Structure 1
């Protein structure tokens, strides 16, 4: 599927397709226990590498997946974010995701990244609803969903924790 994805620019960030050269930085973020404060434990390095490889495969096969989040000034890789085509409750959805270096938390990058990729999806993949799934103990991500104008769609248990799923009205 050709989605026509091209890099997105926000006021402070560049959002571009993940490439093999991003592996080391992406795996470091994914396997850092600090980035899993509100979620179940961080995956180990091998699991993080496998996840990264699956994201590259999605880019090749589907033309969409998570992006590298690059801070423009100074230029540096600060996180991952974006949308992945997944199935939820028998329906194809775009799962909104982000994970950042702890050093950049509190700067609003999750909201900024999310707004950009959602606007892109509204234009290029409007047939799929965008969904955010958040463990209810993850108050910062619950606030991001609220800032984005999402409301509760459903709740379920995942990995032993109550998870709230959000969509736009």
Structure 2
């Protein structure tokens, strides 16, 4: 039985399982889906992403979760919260990746809103951030739709030294 963490109208967000590398790699290796990342992932990179998240579940009780379409049962991306260093500061970072064939359907917004609510109500997080490349307009729209506001811009050494926007929201 797969551990479902969150359920929305159209999605299940759940822990990855070790044998799901194929479905995950199909998304993370796609050059269009991953165009705002330093590069599409190699199989080794996808395996590391999976292993890192499996470890995060054990250590923190959260991480990036598989985003599963309720209608098809297919993994269509991932979404979740990780502890990350953003512009030199430790932050709770909300991130998501959606396979290109599901872009423009509101899936990222649905998943991100659920993760934001989970961060505040279940994890007791007081501040949630998100970061994206300056030209990743779709990600910016998602983050703005869930109430985050741009806090600053910085040069991101972890992503080709490109201009990166940092968004945040506080849990009142």
CA RMSD of aligned residues (A): 1.8
Q: CA deviation at 1:131?
A: 0.7
Q: Is the 8 A contact 1:92 1:128 kept in 2?
A: no
Question: Which residue of structure 2 aligns with residue 48 of structure 1?
Answer: 46
| 8 Å CA contact retained: 1:130, 1:167 | yes
Q: 1:88 offset after TM fit, Å?
A: 3.3
Q: Counterparts in 2 of 1:2-81, with a 5 A limit?
A: 7-81=5-79
Could you tell me the TM-score, scaled by structure 2's length?
A: 0.88
Instruction: Return the alpha-carbon distance in structure 1 between the equivalents of residues 141 and 59 of structure 2.
Output: 33
Cα deviation, 1:113-137, whole Å, max 9, x if unaligned, reads 0000110110122245211101011
SS in 1 for 2:143: helix
* Structure that is richer in helix per residue: 1
Q: Are the aligned partners of 1:94 and 1:128 in contact in 2 as well (CA < 8 Å)?
A: no
Paired residues of 2:4 and 2:12 also in contact (CA < 8 A): no
Aligned length: 165
TM-score (norm 1): 0.89
What's the offset of the Cα at 1:6? 5.3
Unpaired runs of at least 5, structure 1: none
5+ long unaligned stretches in structure 2: none
